[in-house]
Structure formats: structure tokens, C-alpha cells
Amino acid sequence: MGRMDDFANAAAYPDGLTEAGLTPDRLRDVLELDMWAFPTADSIEDLLGVPSPLTWDRAFGVTDAARPGELVALRASYPFSDTPVPGGRLKVAGLTWVGVHPQWRRRGLLRTMIANHFAHCRERSEPISLLYAAEPSIYGRFGYGLAARHLLLTLKRRAELRPVHGAGELQVRFETVSAERHGDLIAGLHAAVDRPGWVTRETPELAAMWLTDSPLFSHGHEVERIAIVERDGLPVGYALFRRKSEWGPAGPEGSVRVSETVATDAAAAYALWARLLDLDLTAEVTSGMLATDDPLLSLLVDVRAAKAAWKDNVWLRIIDLPTALATRQYQSDVDVVLEVSDTLLPDNAGRWRLTAGAFAVASAERTDAPADLVLDVRELGAAYLGGTSLLELAGAGLVTELRPGALRDASVAFGWPVAPGSSWIF
């Protein structure tokens, strides 16, 4: 903890600036600053009409003594207290609402906010932090590695799916999303997904914001709809979507924008996508953020007809290395000495012996034994959820193998049968 404090102290704000916790009565100031960081055509009054998702005791603002009423920078985090990691669950801090007023940019405010965020993660015993990056080039310098990728698919109406046994026995209901009617259903099915990095909207503030529909979110589409799949009256999946009506010379050219799908089995996935792919007056369907192993990819008869774009999903920072490494499982026996560099959190730096049985308990202890692999904490973060292979990173010169065979063995061990990813941007 002592060395940690050094980093927080070393990264100080310029004279006159101080950081303090925020309270709900500062929401207008928060939104004003956010509108400077993320330009929008929406009015502040409209934005104030949407419930704030912030967890206020995790929201911090930076003010200038000369103008104490305004914020010059902002950071917050969400508590994701039970997030799946390979073979386990962890308390995670989801860094969010990061913004610096353009007048103050590139003067080290972000650096200092990150240092304070790390200190708070330590205080709250959150061994990892996740984020979505507005620009991918920002966070690597702070030790965040790209831990998951997702696919966005664009499909033609009536794209053919391989049949799934039992799908015909399921019922699909279409409704308009309502917090009262669907809040528990969505929260229950979403929280049951066991995918590394699958953070869920566990605070009441996040759940309320997520279920609020507002013209601010529709971008020319209709109100938010839900397709619910049921087996014998029990929900086994849902999709959130909006349609947009358009007419071309040859008739209807509407589109469907799916924002999230959860299906507990193959039949539910088939039933959802079969309906979404054949809505009247539409020509095209875009998926939400799909994990790279989403069942839709294997359901499609002609996968090449789907236009696919891949994007960076969550970025991961290891805050407490021994706890993080020992809390996940590995998919093969492993005994490897990792030499880790971490200039910001030196408590993580040095040589660690990772030992684990396949899908069993693991331990990470300091060691003086010679290193097998050398890497930065950023690459360890990228590999942590099992979606980025150490071999892949070594191919880009980011991991160095000192003991022949160690890279292959560790790459297998760090992998995971379920691809990582989160279904929503926080």
C-alpha cells in the first residue's frame, strides 16, 4: 500500500485544482462537464429528464478554486461486485464517466484521476478494473489491456438459420419495454449468464436508467421493444430491439436494431433470431454486441452473408495481481514463473509463480526462481479473461518466452472455453 500511495501522490493535480466526492445535487454540473467531454445536440434539460446511473459515493469531480461551482474533470465507477471471470467471480470496479474539460486537457488530470481510481480500487478490495474506451489509444499507458472483443453483425431479412430441435415448442411474445413488467425478467436472465467479463446492471440506479426509454436514446427508431421467449410459461431468453421504418423505390426498407440478446439454450437463441430476422417491413437487422462465440454465428447457414465488424469490448486492469490470478481458474495444469512489469502499481511488479490444476484452485506467489515469461501487466490484463492468447501477444512482441514450451503451456492454461465480453457499454 505504501508504494501505491507514492503513485497517487506523484500524480498530483495542477495548483488550485482539487478532487472531491460528488453528491446527487451536483447532477447538473456533472452533465455540463460531460457535455464538454462528449459533445451532444441534446439539451441539458432533456438529459436531466433521464435517471442518472451514477453510484454517487463512487463519483468524483475536480474543481478549480477560482470557479468552484463548475467541474473541470470527472470520474466515476460502478460496482460490479460479482462479475464472472474464468471459473470464478470477482469484485470489479467499472471505470466510467471519465471526462476532462477541453480547456484543461493534456495537463495530467486524467493521469491523476486514474491514480486515485486505483487507490480507491485497493481500498474497496476490487482486484480488477474494467472499462470501455472512448478512444482505444488512451488506456494502455495505464496498464489496461484489451481483454475482450465483440462482433457487430448486419444481416439481411430472412437470413437462413439451421433448425434447432425443440425451438418450435417455445413461445415468443413481443412487448414494449417497461420497467415494471420486464425489470426482474431482464435482470434475472442477464445476471445468470456465466461469461467472463459479463458485468450486469446490479445497482438500482443502473437498472433504472437501463429500463428508461427516452427519445434521446432512439435515434430515429421506434420505442424500445422486447421479444421474450418462454418454455412452458417460464422465460428462457429475451432480445431488446427497435425498428426503423424506411421506404425505397421498391417498397419497405426498414431496419431492426437489436441492442441485447440473452438466450439460455440453443432453442431459445433460434426462436429469438428467427423472429428478429423476419419482422414485416424490414430489410436488414443489426445485432447488438455479440461475443465472438455467440450462437448466432453457428446458427447462420451462410455466415459469409453476414457483414461483420469487430470492436474492442472491455479493457482490463489488474490492480491486485496475486488475488486476481489466484481467483480465476485455468483450463490446464500450469506451473509458470511470470516476470511482470508495472510502472504504476509496483506492488504487482516482479516475479510470480503461478500454479494451478486444470479447472481447479490456483495460487500466485512471489518467487526468486528464474522467469519463464516476461510481460507487462497490460498484457496480463489482456489475457486474464481467456479471450486474448499469450501466444497472440507474443506474436506482436508483447510477451517474451525465456523457457522453451512455457509460452504454449501458459497460453493453453490462460484460455477459456467461453469467450469473454460484456453485452452493454457502461
Ligand X SMILES: CC(C)(COP(=O)(O)OP(=O)(O)OC[C@H]1O[C@@H](n2cnc3c(N)ncnc32)[C@H](O)[C@@H]1OP(=O)(O)O)[C@@H](O)C(=O)NCCC(=O)NCCS
Contacts with ligand X by CB under 6 A lie at 37-38, 98-100, 105-111, 133-135, 137-138, 141
From CA 94, how far away is CA 387, in angstroms rounded?
Answer: 19
**Closer of 24 and 102 to ligand X (Cβ):** 102
CB of 106 to ligand X, least distance (A): 4
Distance CA 205, CA 212 (A): 11
Q: State which amino acid sits at residue 184.
A: D
Burial class (CB in 10 A: 0-12, 13-18, 19+), 26: buried
Residue 157 gets the label, from left (phi > 0), alpha (psi -120 to 50) or beta, of: beta
Q: Which is nearer to ligand X, 47 or 109 (CB)?
A: 109
Closest CA to 323 of 305, 299, 347: 347
Which triple of cell numbers denotes residue 307?
457483414
Q: What are the φ and ψ backbone dihedral angles of 129, each rounded to 5 degrees?
A: -125, 140
What is the Cα–Cα distance from 194 to 173, expressed in whole angstroms? 25
End-to-end alpha-carbon separation of the chain, Å? 29
Task: Quote the least distance from Cβ 139 to ligand X, whole Å.
Answer: 7
Return the bridge partners of 254, or none.
282
Minimum distance, C-beta of residue 257 to ligand X, in the bound complex (Å): 23
What is the DSSP secondary structure assignment for residue 8, as one 8-state letter?
H
CB of 235 to ligand X, least distance (A): 34
Give 369 or 425: the residue with its C-beta nearer to ligand X: 425
For the chain, how big is the Rg over CA atoms in Å? 23
For 11-148, strand residue ranges (E) read 17-21, 59-64, 73-85, 88-100, 128-131, 145-146
Least separation in angstroms between residue 259's CB and ligand X is: 20
Between 149 and 242, whose beta carbon lies closer to ligand X? 149
List Cβ neighbours of 54 (8 Å cut-off, separation of 6 or more): 22, 27, 30, 76, 97, 205
C-beta closer to ligand X: residue 133 or 281: 133
Q: Which is nearer to ligand X, 284 or 376 (CB)?
A: 376
Query: How far is 306 from 297, CA to CA, in rounded Å?
Result: 9
**Distance in Å, CB of 131 to ligand X, minimum:** 6
Nearer residue to ligand X within complex by CB, 48 or 134: 134
Is the separation of the CB atoms in 421 and 197 below 8 Å?
yes
Distance of CA 233 to the CA centre of its chain: 31
Closest approach, Cβ 53 to ligand X, in A, equals 15
CB-based contact 53:59 (threshold 8 Å)? no
Nearer to ligand X, 315 or 384 (CB): 315
45 vs 135 by CB, closer to ligand X = 135
* 108 touches 142 (CB < 8 A): no
Nearest approach in angstroms of CB 361 to ligand X is 35
Shortest reach from residue 142's CB to ligand X, in Å: 8
Helix (H) or strand (E) holding 401: strand 399-401
- Closest approach of Cβ 394 to ligand X, in Å? 25
Give 99 or 421: the residue with its C-beta nearer to ligand X: 99
Residue 395: count of CB within 10 angstroms of its CB: 10
